[in-house]
Amino acid sequence: MEQLTTIGLNHYLTISAFLLGFGLFAVMTRKNAIVILMGVELILNAANINFLAFSKYNGGMEGVMFALFVIVIAAAEAAIALAIVINIYKIFKSVDVSSIDTLKE
């Protein structure tokens, strides 16, 4: 029961795996581009949890540093992605990704 009572690495990894799963699910199933972006944020944060968890249990600061970078880049990515979504909306009058398929054929 010690495994259940003490919060260890596995708990973090499990949470992270769930988060990744939710993120992927959102990305794969939603049609709204903004929801997909939110799914991507979930995936990135799942990765962040992993970085911090491994950093905590291995000692050292590398994981923390990476997590900070990921957060910064995710912010930048969100800004760019939202700008793209706004432009797509201007052109297609929609943020539905299934209707944005003019590159096909």
Partner 1 sequence: MHSLIQLSIVVLLLPLLSFVILIFFNRRLPRRGDFLGVGILGTAFGISAYIFWSVIVQTYDPAFRIAWDFTWIDLGNVPGVGPLQIKMGVVIDNLTAIMLAMVTLISLLVHLYSTGYMAGDKNYGRYFAFLGIFTFSMLGIVLSDNFFAIYIFWELVGLSSYLLIGFFFEKQSAADAQKKAFLANRVGDIGMWLGILILYSQFHTFSFEQIYANLAAGKFALSHGWLTAAGILLFMGCVGKSAQFPLHVWLPDAMEGPTPVSALIHAATMVAAGVYFVARIFVLLTPDALHVIAFTGALTAFMAATIAITQNDIKRVLAYSTVSQLGYMVLGLGVGAYSAALFHLLTHAFFKACLFLGSGAIIHAMHHEQDMRWMGALRKKMPWTFATFTLATLALAGLPLTSGFMSKDAILAGAIGFAKVEGGGIYYLIPVLGFFSAMLTAFYMGRQIWLVFFGESRTHLKPADDQHQDHHAHAAHDAHADVHHEEHEVHEVAWNMRAPLVILAALSVFFVYSPDPLDGGKGWFMKMIPTPATVVGEANHQIGDLRAPVAAPALAAVVPAIEAPAAEAGKHGGAEKDAHSYADMRQAEIIHAGHAAHFTAIYISSIMVLLGISLAFVVYVFNIIDPEKTAIAIRPLYLFSLNKWYWDEIYDATFIKGSMLIANILSWFDTHIVDGIVNGVATLVRNFALLNDAFDRNVVDGMVNFTAFTINTTGAMLRKLQTGKVQTYIVMLLLAVFGYFVFYLTRLIY
Binding site for partner 1 (CB under 8 A): 24, 27-29, 36, 97-98, 101-105
CA atoms within 13 A on the CB side of 19: 18
Nearest-angstrom CA–CA distance, 21 and 75: 21
Nearer to partner 1, 7 or 28 (CB): 28
Residue 51, judged by CB atoms within 10 A of its CB (0-12, 13-18, 19+), counts as buried
Nearer to partner 1, 64 or 100 (CB): 100
The least CB distance from residue 44 to partner 1, in Å, is: 15
The least CB distance from residue 102 to partner 1, in Å, is: 8
- At residue 14, what is the residue type? T
Nearer to partner 1, 29 or 87 (CB): 29
The least CB distance from residue 66 to partner 1, in Å, is: 21
Nearest-angstrom CA–CA distance, 89 and 80: 14
